[in-house]
Amino acid sequence: MSGTSAGRQGRFLSIDILIYEYHMEASEEEEELSVTAFTPWASLAGGLMIGAAAVLLMALHGRILGATGILGGVLRFDDAAAWRLRAALLAGMIAAPSLLWLLTGRGPEIEVPVSAAALVAGGLLVGIGTAYGSGCTSGHGVCGLARLSRRSILATLSFMAGAFVTVFVTRHLIGV
């Protein structure tokens, strides 16, 4: 490993450790203080896997990797070959956290600080949005942007603007 590469790796590791230590100190001293963990290596690995899956699906099957389209295609049985492919992709999405748990002894940490009603309402709004927007964040944000699709660029900008407004309203105006 070259000195430059080792230096970069050391900086990322140092940042991870500093943020983790800060988070631990903050949680011990003040329970209300919350710091979002900065995980560059896990994020990079996840991004590379999503990108590789999108490229392979396009190269091998000529299909866009859009999670909502995959789920919708599994729910409506119109073409047996396409259904099998979508079911396999969906099974992989479900099996991946189980594999992580088997390999590491712990699964992904998921905290949902809202009620079941809010989750259902959010899911319905996302479903309506993906129907009107002709796709979801994975289809437009990953695959569409990579293809420089104008429609996907506009859709992704809309997703981001909606997310910014939602966070601002819920955190600063409503106080959730």
pLDDT computed for residue 36 by the predictor: 61
For 95-153, the pLDDT digits (tens) are: 988 888 888 888 777 777 788 898 899 888 888 888 888 888 778 888 888 889 999 99
Q: Which residue has the tokens 């392979």?
A: 56
For 152-166, the pLDDT digits (tens) are: 999 999 888 988 998
Which stretch of 23-27, 55-59, 83-87, 136-140 has the lowest confidence by average pLDDT?
23-27
Torsion angle, alpha carbons of 159, 128, 166, 18, to 10? -60
Q: Identify whether the C-beta of residue 35 lies closer than 8 Å to the C-beta of residue 17.
A: no
HSE-up of 56 (CA within 13 Å, CB side)? Answer: 8
pTM, whole model, 2 decimals? 0.60
pLDDT computed for residue 4 by the predictor: 46
- 26: Cβ contacts below 8 Å, ≥ 6 apart: 33, 34, 35
* Mean pLDDT calculated for residue range 9-17: 45
Cα–Cα distance for residue pair 58/88, rounded to 1 Å: 15
